Homo-oligomer: A and B are copies of this chain.
Amino acid sequence: MTNPTACIIVIGNEILSGRTQDVNVQFLATRLGSMGIGLREVRVIPDIARTIIETVNELRARFDHVFTTGGIGPTHDDITSSCVAEAFGVPWEQHEPSMTLLAAHFEPGQFNAARQRMATLPRGAVPIENPISVAPGFSIGNVHVMAGVPRIMRAMFDSLAPSLGGGTPVRSTTVHAERLAEGALAAGLERIQDAHPDLDVGSYPYERPDGRRGVALLAKGTDDASLSAARAEIVALIVSLDRTPIDGEPPA
């Protein structure tokens, strides 16, 4: 059985303008990989309704799971929720349990129209609990809509994860070596990749501010025997190049 696939849609002008450094993709990529869900694509798109609707509809047909981050707050540019309703062709309407939850969260008189938008969901959506700031995310079909603020997104993903299922966890094994160059190991590494078509074998150069540099060599896959064999071959390759193989990623 092949693992389920996923993509992420990052919705937000603030990423495209450079104002904000996205950190949600790395979090989700890591968590999904450990659950055996393969992240295959990420798109960063602006807060434009037509773009959001078309992107959601294109990607929910192509991947088993679509995760969106951003655009579910109370302000005028928070249009993800209504766009997802439109993508699914369902009404965008007040969700009574979420209305009750949010009404109780705010001081009397503070649960204004803007905040009520955060309890307005596509019909049929299942809320994703938000233990940080109450206003929920939601799932509809295979689309999971989450906040953009990293702390809230992470809490929502924790709420959502048990319902996602998954596949065979993807594991990786890493060896690094100092003063090793990719150009010197490329031919040997390709032979290792060719010998293990079930794995994803890669090399990643690093360079630290204090001048330490080298390459990390990594094999990734779901079969432990294949991973062990590839690791032994990577170690032998490094030794054959007169360098010292060191376990794991290079220190920061």
User: B-contacting residues of A (Cβ < 8 Å)?
Assistant: 10, 13-23, 25-31, 33, 39-46, 73-77, 106, 110, 112-115, 118, 149, 151, 170, 172, 182-187, 189-190, 193, 200-205, 207, 218, 220
Task: State in angstroms the CA–CA spacing of A151 and B206 once bound together.
Answer: 11
Contacts of A113 in B (CB 8 A): 187
Q: Which residues of chain B are near A17, meaning CB under 8 Å?
A: 29-30, 33, 39, 170, 172, 200, 220
Task: Indicate if the CB atoms of A26 and B33 lie closer than 8 Å.
Answer: no
In the complex, what residues of B have CB within 8 A of residue A21's CB? 23, 26
Residue of B whose beta carbon sits closest to that of A73: B182
| 5 further interface pairs, Cβ-Cβ under 8 Å (given A25-B44, A43-B43, A112-B184) | A15-B29, A18-B25, A42-B42, A73-B205, A74-B186
Interface class of chain A by DSSP: mixed
Chain B residue with the shortest CB-CB distance to A193: B76
Could you give 8 example pairs across A and B, Cβ below 8 Å?
Answer: A15-B26, A17-B33, A17-B200, A18-B30, A18-B31, A76-B186, A110-B184, A118-B183
Knowing A26-B18, A202-B75 are in contact, say whether A183-B112 is a contact too (CB < 8 A). yes
A45 touches B39 (CB 8 A): no
In the assembled complex, the CB of A77 is this many whole angstroms from the nearest CB of chain B, namely 5
Question: With contacts A74-B186, A75-B203, A182-B74 known, is A18 near B27, CB below 8 A?
Answer: yes
Residues of chain B with a CB closer than 8 A to A151's CB: 207
Is the CB–CB distance between B204 and A14 below 8 Å?
A: yes
A23 and B22 alpha carbons, distance in the complex (Å):
9
B189 touches A76 (CB 8 A): yes
**B114 and A183 contact, CB distance less than 8 A:** yes
Tell whether, in the assembled complex, residue B30 and residue A200 are in contact, meaning their CB atoms are under 8 Å apart: no
